Each structure stands twice: as C-alpha cells, then as structure tokens.
C-alpha cells in the first residue's frame, strides 16, 4: 500500500457551483500530488458525460440534495454509472425543482425591494446542464451591490431561516440512496457535522447508507472524533474530501481532506464487491 497516496473525494466543477472545469480540477489535483479524485457536483453528472479518456485515477461522483424533516441532507453517490436511467432522471427532476425554486427565491427577494430577474440569474451559465442554486443567486446579489460577499448574502438573505430562502420541492434520503444503489454506486452522507442535532443525525443514519464523510475540509480532530465513532459503530465506510469550489469558496483548498489508497480502491471497485 502506498502511504503517500491521497485522493480527494469531494469537489465541485463549473457544472455546479465550482469555478473550475473538470479538466482543470484534474490538472490541479496532479499538480499538488494527489493520486485520485472524485468530482461531486450538486445534482448533476455532466462533468463525466463528455470527459473523454483521462490519464488520472477518477471515481465517478455526484452530490445529491435531499431533505429530512425540513433539513437539507447532502448525499454523495460514488462509482455510479453516470448514464444510468435512474441517475439521469433524478438529475432531470432536480433541474426542474431548481428552476421552480430559483424563480420563487428571485420573487421573494424582489418582494424585499430588489429588482433581480430570473434571466439574469441564468445569463452567466451557458454550460449545458449546469446546476444553478443559492451560490449563483448570492453572486447576483453581489453584482447588484446588495451585499459584498457570498457569505454575507447567505447570512442576510439566503440562509435557511432568512427571507430570501425557499425550500422548494423535496426528495428524501431513502429515495436518493435507492437511485444511487440502482446505478451500482455507494451512498455516503456528506458533511454530517452540518446536521443540526446528533439526534437527527442518528435518525438520518437509519437510511441504508454505505458510508459517511468523516474527513472534511480542515476539520479539527475534536470535531472529527465523535463522527468517526458513529461511522465505525454502524460499519460505514469513512470517506473524505475538501468540498473544493475554487474561487467561490477560496478557504476550502483542494486536497485539504483526503482518503488513503485502500478506501479509494474499495470505492473504485464498488460494483465488483462481493
């Protein structure tokens, strides 16, 4: 086993709210000495559909949004077949959900006295099947001079208890996991520390997850420990990644969290497991 092996299993391309192309992400990963990568865009697998042949160890991935008891739960799907019908249909469902929700959020913000337009929100996204969400609305608020930073946009308008927030249509963790399993993949609970209470986290983990993200961005050991314990108790595969978004979240650096070779290979060969 190569002790120097590091693979980042959580990052975003410009097909969702990251700023880099998939090719650039792979180049950056090589440059900093990573040995593997998974690009996990929000609600789309577009990064994998036209990638061509890549001379770098890659595991297919996606980060699906779901809801449990009114709270967002992000689920990473690894080693899925991106062309799988169920995956394609779920991505399409999310696209429609987001179109309706984005229109509602623009409406809610305009009720507060702004003059944003839905067309303007889409104008920067010529990329086919790009997932548009709150980070893009935050950028629009910056463009209109309403706020100075993305963080400020979330704190004042777009956070879950703020006036510009709309939940929109919801899909459960169970439904999402079932699609990931149907596409031969592993379902992993992303950034479990963001779930508001340990009690709720335990309830969420009753769904048939295969793994949990135990190493995240620049997590402290203190934060890590109880989560790693919960994963071990449930026999869940422990994964890790940076949640790199490029310029849109400059504080999360690619490779800041990672998995070793054994975990990477286990996921890479997921569909062949006995």
* Least distance from Fe ion to the Cβ atom of residue 191, Å: 6
Closest CA to 48 of 86, 76, 21, 8: 21
Choose among Fe ion, ligand AMP, Zn ion, none what residue 5 binds, the Cβ cut-off being 5 to 8 Å by kind: none
Is residue 134 a contact point for Fe ion (CB under 5 A)?
no
Q: Give the DSSP H or E segment for 250.
A: none
Residue 215 touches which of ligand AMP, Fe ion, Zn ion, none (Cβ within 5-8 Å per kind): none
Find, among 4, 16, 77, the residue nearest to 46 by Cα.
16
Helix and strand totals (H; E) in the chain: 10, 7
> Residues interacting with ligand AMP, by CB under 6 A?
17, 42, 65, 133-135, 150-151, 154
10, 42 in Cβ contact below 8 A? Answer: no
φ/ψ of 72, rounded to 5, equals: -65, 135
Least Cβ distance, residue 271 to ligand AMP (angstroms): 27
Distance CA 12, CA 47 (A): 9
Indicate the residue among 35 and 187 with the shorter CB distance to ligand AMP: 187
CB of 88 to ligand AMP, least distance (A): 19
Task: Give residue number: closest CB to ligand AMP.
Answer: 133
CB of 173 to Fe ion, least distance (A): 13
Total site size for Fe ion, rule CB under 5 A: 3
57/240 with CB nearer ligand AMP = 240
Q: Which of 6, 10, 28, 74 is close enough to bind Fe ion by CB under 5 A?
A: 74
- For binding to Zn ion (CB under 5 A), which residues are involved? 63, 243
Contact window for Fe ion (CB under 5 A) among 19-27, 117-125, 186-194, 209-217: 186-194
In the complex, minimum distance from the CB of residue 57 to ligand AMP, in angstroms, rounded to a whole number: 25
Question: For residue 236, which of 169, 179, 177, 157 has the smallest C-alpha distance?
Answer: 177
- Judged by DSSP in three states, 71 sits in strand
- To which residue do tokens 């993200």 refer? 213
Reduced to 3 states (helix: H, G, I; strand: E, B; else coil), residue 179 is: helix
Tokens of 45: 């697998």
Q: Which residues bind Fe ion (CB under 5 A)?
A: 17, 74, 190
């Amino acid at each position: 086993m190569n002790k120097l092996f590091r693979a980042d299993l959580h990052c975003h391309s410009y097909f969702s709210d990251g700023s880099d192309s998939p090719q650039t992400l792979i180049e950056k990963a090589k440059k900093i000495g990573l040995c593997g990568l998974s690009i996990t865009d929000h609600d789309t697998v577009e990064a994998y559909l036209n990638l061509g042949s890549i001379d770098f160890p890659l595991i297919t991935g996606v980060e699906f949004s779901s809801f449990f008891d009114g709270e967002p739960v992000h689920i990473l799907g690894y080693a899925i077949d991106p062309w799988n019908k169920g995956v394609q249909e779920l991505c399409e469902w999310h696209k429609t959900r987001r179109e309706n929700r984005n229109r509602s959020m623009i409406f809610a913000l305009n009720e507060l006295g702004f003059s944003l337009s839905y067309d303007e929100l889409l104008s920067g996204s010529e990329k086919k099947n790009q997932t548009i969400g709150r980070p893009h609305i935050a950028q629009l608020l910056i463009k209109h001079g309403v706020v100075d930073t993305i963080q400020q946009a979330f704190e004042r308008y777009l956070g879950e208890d703020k006036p510009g927030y709309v939940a929109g249509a919801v899909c459960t963790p169970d439904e999402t996991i079932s699609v990931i399993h149907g596409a031969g993949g592993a379902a992993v609970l992303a950034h479990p520390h963001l779930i508001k209470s340990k009690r709720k986290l335990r309830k969420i983990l009753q769904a048939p997850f295969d793994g949990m993200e135990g190493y995240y961005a620049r997590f402290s050991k203190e934060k890590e420990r109880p989560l790693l314990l919960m994963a071990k108790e449930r026999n869940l595969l422990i994964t890790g990644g940076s949640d790199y978004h490029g310029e849109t979240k400059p504080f999360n650096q690619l490779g800041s969290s990672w998995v070793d070779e054994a975990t990477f290979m286990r996921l890479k060969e997921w569909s062949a497991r006995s």
